Amino acid sequence: MSLSQFTMMKVFPAALGTSVVSKAIFHALRPNDFEAIQRKRAADPSHAVVLATGGLLLGIGMDISGLCPGSVYVQLGAGIPTALPVFWGVLAGSLLATALAKPMV
């Protein structure tokens, strides 16, 4: 990784802004549900470890593949050669995580 273009670092603030706005809307429309989810997450001490581990794995995968799994469909449509293995990796990882995870709600 050369850290020369910082493309993803330019995209992340937009994603963060979208997340903040969507959470604010959810909180305004369904405050009781929002608070219940926040309390449940805060009460689970393993939640921080799970998030940190997931972020670490995502970052490693992005660095190794050079692609962001969030935009893999666009990359497939654009014909980027490395998009197909990333797609299969994302799919396999999602299925594995679903099989291993306990439900949040």
Percent of the chain past pLDDT 70, that is, above it, reads 87
pLDDT tens for 27-78 read 999 999 999 888 887 777 677 787 788 888 888 888 887 777 778 888 888 8
Place of tokens 């299969």: 88
The pTM of the whole model exceeds 0.85: no
pLDDT at position 31 is 93
- Angle made by CA atoms 80, 82, 88, in degrees to the nearest 5: 115
What rounded mean pLDDT belongs to the chain?
81
Residues 6+ apart with CB under 8 A from 68: 8, 11, 62
Gap between the Cα atoms of 101 and 95, Å rounded: 10
Domain ranges of the chain: 6-43, 47-105
Angle at 51 between CA 97 and CA 15, to 5 degrees: 100
State the average pLDDT over residues 87-92: 88
